[in-house]
Structure 1
Amino acid sequence: MQASIFRSHGLAAQIAVAFLIVYAPHLHAAVIRPSLQESQASIVAASERDFDRLDNEAGLRSGGAFPFDYQHLVFFDLDEQGEPIAGADLWTAASVQAGRLRGVYEGGWNYSLNMTVTLYAADSVVARSETRNDYILGSRLDPNEPDGFPIQAMLRVPAGEYDYEIQIRDNNWEDNRSVNQIRGRVVIPESIITQPFISSVAIAADSAGTWNPSADLELQLNAARIIQKDARPYVYFEAYGLTPGSTYRGEVRLVSRWVSRGQGEEFRGTYQPFQMQYRGNVPADPSEPVRKLLRLDLSDTDPGHYEVQIRVRDLETGLVSEVRSARLKVRGADSVRRLVPVVDVTVDEP
């Protein structure tokens, strides 16, 4: 029976509906189950939406006594069969405005930060991570110094949506006199097993830093994603679901996000100032993802908003990943927030 038939008979229809409910409990509405292919496509679409949401929220900036830019990045681990292990590595990266921090002279100017990241679900703590960085500089920073100190923490958590709290403390003040914190919501995407897929895309200012996405790699994450025009920033990502021991093709593009406001503006730059294709090898060990580090050439860019777009193709199966994006802003040399050139850094991650 269809609802439109019942609606056409008024009270009789109501009696008929009541009769079916009371005296025919064994009758159930037909359940249309999605096919396996449709279900997998739905998982892929949901994961891509979650990654887009992460990217849209990157480069957020806190207020407070010493402002900091921050972002969240998600990476996955693989098992011996190359399948993603349940859960994900959530990295929270921050860049703290250095001129607002207190320096103490101890043979060099010492600046010390502590960052605690806490995730909550239904007001209960799901995970917490704490990191301490001590930065040793050759000279004292000017109080108006806009550049930032990088610091990050990692949490291993299941996919899902959480409330988060980021708390950063200037350790050179006693009794928590200088603490800044911010709260929000973060989503951890599901991993994908039906096709190749890509992790978050990290933008780094330098190849020497405190972020270690793998054992042999150290980077200075740029949480603000604000890049100087004459810089050559690093881009790091991981690719999963490729055939072990085979080859793949990577495609990288830098695309302008310039949009006309309908006020007679004219874009004089290049819409796609950087693009490259390369052929790479997939590790023979199924538990090892492809880890790729490359550099962007920004020489043909005008100041403005851009998007790094990355896609990989498995040359064994022909399967292609969705495009993973990372937004960034290119500025002139006189207006960009950089990372402080650090002489020495000690890191303590309990």
Structure 2
Amino acid sequence: MGRDAEKQAGDFSFPSMRSGYEVSYSFTAQGPVGVVKETTLADLLQRYADILWEEGHHKYNVKAFIGELDEILFGARFSIFSQDMLDSLIGALRKRGNSNATINRKMAALSKLLRKAYNMGDIHSLPEFRRQKERAGRLRFLEADEEEALFREIGNRSQLYVQLSIFLVDTGARLGEAIALKWNDVHQGRATFWVTKSGRSRTVPLTMRAKEALEALADRSPGPFAAIDQQKYRAVWNAAKVDAGLGDEADIVPHVLRHTCASRLVRGGIDLRRVQMWLGHQTLEMTMRYAHLASHDLDMCVPVLERHLK
């Protein structure tokens, strides 16, 4: 074979055949091999959703997020997810009125999916994901009288649901974590949550009220709250919220019980590092949302400021 023929039989890399995408071909004497197959976000979601996310409300949201992003891209096929594609998605979401916090949640789902696809060889590069700066909004939690009114209305509808509500507010557990709890996870006055958002288990001691809530459900198997349907619980919650006089507050959703638990710990003088461990936050930054409630730490400043008066 001559030198020219050898060149023709060698490997060649062709430029992009479509704007915005790069498709590489390798050639041998027998023809093209290793042709990169293009894919879509919808294809990747169908392939990896069950591997990456547990069944539940979060997985439902993730599917909605990825579906929206695929729709914005008009179902575009790609082998490289470029920075331009990512930037265009963020711009489109912002035009749709998405807050930076909402954009961050959608980008977190996209990043996890693309990282899996990259590791499996479905795509050949990843863009750089930058977290959008979020404005600190008002953090809603329940005062004692609000909790009493709300739980009374929930109890009028379902004793099972009010026991769950008590358990949530006294442990700070997420709704999915409590529902996934098994009796083997409760031992010597402590509850261990294995199915968590961060993927890291944590164990918290139980209040007397939380212990009584579990004891009232001792005949249920395989766990105290395993039979609860999240959507039905939310429906009862919303109806009870209206009757408790809290119907106008959009922030009062079941997750407010987790905020309430955290706020009570911080206001009671528990340091933020312990609150982080209790809630299972991956970083202290997430727990810092509650730092403004630790007003007791500033009380020592007042005598210093008043010294000049004496």
* TM superposition score category, shorter chain reference: under 0.3
Give the number of the structure with larger relative contact order, counting CA–CA contacts within 8 Å between residues 6 or more apart: 1
Higher share of residues assigned strand: 1
Report the TM-score when normalising by structure 1. Answer: 0.20
Q: Decide which structure has greater helix share.
A: 2
TM-score, structure 2 as length reference:
0.21
